A and B are shown apart, each in its own frame.
Chain A
Amino acid sequence: MPVPSSNPMLRGMPPTAEDLAGTPAAHQFSDVTASDAALRRFLHGLPGVDQVGAEARAAGLGTRSIKTTAKAFAIDLAITMVDLTTLEGMDTSGKVRALAAKAMRPDPADPSCPAAAAVCVYPDLVADARAVLGDSGVRVAAVATSFPSGRAALPIKLADVRDAVAAGADEIDMVIDRGAFLSGRYLQVFEEIVAVREACDSAHLKVIFETGELQTYDNVRRASWLAMMAGGHFIKTSTGKVQPAATLPVTLVMLEAVRDFRDATGTMVGVKPAGGIRTTKDAIKYLVMVNEIVGPDWLDPDWFRFGASTLLNDLLMQRTKMTTGRYSGPDYFTLD
């Protein structure tokens, strides 16, 4: 029988800054993460998310009209936030090297075009990406932990992570064990994230929920807090291998979570919607959401990313349209 705690979070209430002041994020939650039962009480004590209301809010933000200078600004910002991604069984060294080159110079015809944030690849191709990117500032991200299903023993997942880090990955995109999460073994999920974070060493950790499998926004909010308490630097929607992948309302719920987490702990956590974001129009909707839900602090590739592949070319086409005044076509942009 768990002992009643003085920690307000165990009574299902969001902690105040005072409750948590001065302690590093992961340690602030030692009461909450002491047992499966305590963790469950905490996560289920978070305010619920009404699906209809959340989706209406997201749709409302989607009606913002971003034109002219605002659009130009948003396009450049979005380019800097792209984790240019290839995660196919048929990926090769050549493919990854081409992608890395594109990440550094998305529009070879226009030197004013900013670089993307990172390239995102499988661990065995990290070295290829690293070789091209060098110290360009474009990061190498690797999906690890038996991506995308996460169905492997923990030591194997950790070995996957260490391998990617050793090969030069700056960032690790891990997947949570959705099976454990959905069956209520929250502590197992938590501990796994903590272990992966440790294995990351100095690399940044992005925690993928695969929100399409979690199904409900309540679950997304719980997973968000779980990952943040475990020390994830970023929370990420999807692998891109499950539909639906990133959606505006899922991202809304995650943004609300990082906002509340900062209010409670002072610690900022990044957000990465991934999969399904293909057009400039979509990307701008996400940026509007970031702007209005969490504010300008998150309008930075350190705190917001897009996991995407085809998005970049659409951003480039729109960017060219803004500068030249005429519509462009895919023939004028590289396919990588």
Chain B
Amino acid sequence: MDRIDVRKTYKLYIGGAFPRSESGRSYEVLDAKGRFLANASHASRKDARDAVVAARSAFKGWSSRTAYNRAQVVYRIAEVLESRRAQFEQELRDAEGISVGKARDVVDAAVDRLVWYAGWADKLGQVVGNANPVAGPFFNLSTPEATGVVAVVAPASPLLGLVSVLAPVITTGNTCVVLASQEHPLTSITLAEVMATADVPAGVVNILTGQRAEVAPWLASHMDVNALDLTGVDDPSLAVSLEVAAADNLKRVRRPRAEDLLATPDLSRMTDFVETKTVWHPMGV
């Protein structure tokens, strides 16, 4: 008799823990051929609220870590992901029905993307900051700082897409609430397990699975969220309504746009979520 396998329950990732949705709901996730894969948690507005609280409470600590330390944490995510690549390749093939080679390419790209962003943590300030030669006896320095809690609607691509939107946000010192790929949520939760074991402090990354149209509006209108990344919003009217809601507290909004995930990114995913702070001080004796 064959052994009965132990199936995994996919939950949410909030504040470093893996709770079920407070609503008790889940939804069926099918593989590329339409067969049942697993149930995913169907996050509610209250889960979104809890995730924002977790992200906010992690912000002060994470944003005040040294850039070098944040770089090491992001690099550690890459290391752990690399060590579990077989699992991710398999999951991607199940979920998306892609070939062995394609799955390998995607995992390669995801690991490399994390490494790329990790290296930026302690260089962005040098590239986008400025010493300003003001016309007076003042020391004047502009540096980038994290904008705060970023709500991210992740693209469909469950690994590379998620890594591409998440890494730049946390590398720069933000914390985030990510609404994972609605279609392929499972791999995103597996990535959460990677982060939970990769020294990412609790609350820095929070991942929700569920319905974009249901959860995203709560994040877009949340007054304790500072920025909104709409990359994964494929419905233009939803994108407009989310941007309108985001205006209530003037969130920085990154609008959805066509992007080649495999190409090396520009800096905009980092610079869209930093604030330039300029400090003046007199120079005298």
Contact = CB atoms under 8 A, between A and B. Distances in A.
Nearest to A219: B285
A50 B139 CA distance: 14
A259 B46 CA distance: 62
A51 interface: yes
A38 B40 CA distance: 73
A53 interface: yes
B285 A215 contact: yes
B27 interface: no
Interface in B255-285: 282-285
Interface string A215-227: 1100000000000
Interface string A34-63: 000000000000000011110100000000
B68 interface: no
16 contacts: A50-B282, A50-B284, A51-B137, A51-B282, A51-B284, A51-B285, A52-B136, A52-B137, A52-B138, A52-B282, A52-B283, A52-B284, A53-B282, A55-B284, A215-B285, A216-B285
Contacts of A216: 285
A53 B285 CA distance: 11
Interface of A: 50-53, 55, 215-216
Contacts of B284: 50-52, 55
Contacts of A50: 282, 284
A58 to B, nearest CB: 13
A55 B283 CA distance: 12
Can you list the 8 inter-chain pairs with the closest CB atoms, starting with the nearest? A51-B284, A52-B282, A52-B284, A52-B137, A216-B285, A51-B285, A50-B282, A50-B284
Nearest to B281: A52
B135 to A, nearest CB: 13
A52 B282 CA distance: 6
A50 B136 CA distance: 14
A52 B137 CA distance: 7
Given A51-B284, A52-B138, 14 more contacts: A50-B282, A50-B284, A51-B137, A51-B282, A51-B285, A52-B136, A52-B137, A52-B282, A52-B283, A52-B284, A53-B282, A55-B284, A215-B285, A216-B285
Specify the main secondary structure of chain A where it touches its partner: helix
Contacts, number: 16
A52 B134 CA distance: 14
Interface in B89-106: none
Contacts of A215: 285
A215 B282 CA distance: 17
A175 B137 CA distance: 32
A2 to B, nearest CB: 29
A215 B285 CA distance: 9
A52 B139 CA distance: 12
B193 to A, nearest CB: 54
A216 B285 CA distance: 6
Nearest to B138: A52
Contacts of A51: 137, 282, 284-285
Contacts of A53: 282
A52 B284 CA distance: 6
A208 B285 CA distance: 21
A158 B276 CA distance: 62
Contacts of B136: 52
Interface string B126-165: 0000000000111000000000000000000000000000
A216 B284 CA distance: 9
A51 B281 CA distance: 12
A47 to B, nearest CB: 15
B46 to A, nearest CB: 52
Nearest to A52: B282
Most buried by B among A50, A52, A53, A216: A52
A214 to B, nearest CB: 11
Contacts of B285: 51, 215-216
Contacts of B138: 52
B74 to A, nearest CB: 41
Nearest to B284: A51
B284 to A, nearest CB: 3
A330 B283 CA distance: 42
A55 B284 CA distance: 10
A50 B138 CA distance: 12
B280 to A, nearest CB: 10
A50 B283 CA distance: 9
A51 B283 CA distance: 8
Contacts of B137: 51-52
Contacts of A55: 284
A216 to B, nearest CB: 5
A280 B285 CA distance: 30
A154 B285 CA distance: 32
A252 B163 CA distance: 60
A161 to B, nearest CB: 33
A164 to B, nearest CB: 35
A317 B32 CA distance: 99
Nearest to A53: B282
Nearest to B285: A216
A52 B281 CA distance: 10
A55 B285 CA distance: 12
Nearest to A54: B284
A312 to B, nearest CB: 34
Contacts of B282: 50-53
B283 to A, nearest CB: 7
